[in-house]
């Protein structure tokens, strides 16, 4: 059995309460006593048992992260931001993969309640968030990251998707008003919807008409980008420029262009959301909207901790981070 506070107390010749006070750095302890206890701690190799502490304090110093996909560069950069912030405050992060399934989201939320997490960061996989109510019902604060849901309100950290796309598409339009296509994501995702709004806003502002056959909706995955770019290139008159609403579809689209033997010079000029590694180098892209990905995670964690540690209980707060327009000189 491991060393407990009781062993330390005996070794130091004090009560368990005193040991507890020393461990928790409470004031009002004679220096001599403190030293005695500290020495007993090192000698015995004592380590707190946070399980016992949690049972008593009903604080687990653990945060849950519910994500549609673990092996996803984008989501894990959010996780990274959160983990870094939380780690510094000695919180741990439990990661839950949901495979974009609402059942899994519910299941994992239940599991997290049973684990007594202090808060949960959620990257929702759809529009719907009402099943997360069990968390707040259990008194566990929640913050959405990257996406909002329609039927459940909470703190959230997202980026200004609409404006980001608006700027990028405006840039494309300024270069060439002709036939600007859009490869977007499911309207069930708030970020996908907002990005589409940005596209529409730009076209409208420049007096351009939205052509149905130039607006294609995919699922934010590589394959989908591949297929939709194929579809565009097989039109009688392919578009002159294409805005692609996320990194994975962008990757798929470029895969199609390369595989199809389209060189940058005889391909549509591409604008995209998310700053894809290699994208600039490959020569197809002319502009991209970069997100402060890590910061989404950091701020989400911070928002959560305010509710947990500072008992902030004002109205929900939605932080919208600004995106960064990156223009590639090559095209």
**What are the residues binding DNA (CB under 7 A)?**
1-2, 4-6, 13-21, 23-24, 27-30, 32-34, 46, 48-49, 52-53, 55-58
**Contact with a copy of itself (CB under 8 A): which of 114, 212, 265, 314?**
114
- 96 lies in the binding site for a copy of itself (CB under 8 A): yes
- 62 lies in the binding site for a copy of itself (CB under 8 A): yes
In whole angstroms, the minimum distance from the beta carbon of 273 to a copy of itself comes to 18
- 235 lies in the binding site for a copy of itself (CB under 8 A): no
Give the binding range for a copy of itself (CB under 8 A) out of 34-42, 44-52, 160-168, 266-274: 44-52
By C-alpha distance, which of 166, 193, 146, 161 is closest to 287? Answer: 166
Given DNA, a copy of itself, none, residue 278, with its beta carbon under 5 to 8 Å by kind, binds: a copy of itself
- 258 lies in the binding site for a copy of itself (CB under 8 A): yes
- 100 lies in the binding site for a copy of itself (CB under 8 A): no
By C-alpha distance, which of 254, 258, 238 is closest to 246? Answer: 254
For residues 238 and 257, give the distance between their C-alpha atoms in angstroms, rounded to a whole number.
Answer: 12
- 49 lies in the binding site for a copy of itself (CB under 8 A): yes
In whole angstroms, the minimum distance from the beta carbon of 11 to DNA comes to 12
Contacting positions for a copy of itself (CB under 8 A): 2, 47-52, 54-55, 60, 62, 69-73, 76-77, 79-80, 83-84, 87, 90, 92-97, 108, 110-111, 113-116, 138-139, 222, 251, 254-255, 258-259, 277-278, 281-283
């Amino acid at each position: 059995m491991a060393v407990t506070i009781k062993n330390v107390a005996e070794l130091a010749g004090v009560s368990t309460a005193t040991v507890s006070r020393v461990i928790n750095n409470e004031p009002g302890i004679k220096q001599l006593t403190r030293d005695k206890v500290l020495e007993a701690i090192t000698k015995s190799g004592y380590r707190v048992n946070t399980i016992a502490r949690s049972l008593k304090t009903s604080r687990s110093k653990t945060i849950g992260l519910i994500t549609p996909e673990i092996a996803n560069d984008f989501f894990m950069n959010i996780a990274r931001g959160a983990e870094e912030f939380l780690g510094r405050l000695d919180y741990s992060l439990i990661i839950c993969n949901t495979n974009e399934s609402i059942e899994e989201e519910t299941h994992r939320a239940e599991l997290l309640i049973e684990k007594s997490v202090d808060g949960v960061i959620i990257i929702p996989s759809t529009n719907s968030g009402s099943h997360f109510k069990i968390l707040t019902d259990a008194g566990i604060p929640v913050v959405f990251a990257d996406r909002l849901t329609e039927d459940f309100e909470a703190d959230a950290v997202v980026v200004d998707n609409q404006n980001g796309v608006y700027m990028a598409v405006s840039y494309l339009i300024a270069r060439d008003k002709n036939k600007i296509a859009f490869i977007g994501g499911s309207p069930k995702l708030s970020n996908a919807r907002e990005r589409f709004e940005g596209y529409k806003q730009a076209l409208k502002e420049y007096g351009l008409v939205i052509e149905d056959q130039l607006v294609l909706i995919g699922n934010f995955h590589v394959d989908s980008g591949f297929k939709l770019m194929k579809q565009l290139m097989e039109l009688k008159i392919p578009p002159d420029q294409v805005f692609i609403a996320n990194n994975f579809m962008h990757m798929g689209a470029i895969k199609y262009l390369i595989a199809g033997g389209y060189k940058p010079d005889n391909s549509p000029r591409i604008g995209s959301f998310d700053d894809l590694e290699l994208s600039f180098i490959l020569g197809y892209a002319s502009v991209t909207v970069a997100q402060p990905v890590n910061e989404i995670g950091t701020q989400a964690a911070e928002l959560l901790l305010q509710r947990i540690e500072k008992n902030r209980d004002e109205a929900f707060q939605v932080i919208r981070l600004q995106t960064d327009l990156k223009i590639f000189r090559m095209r």
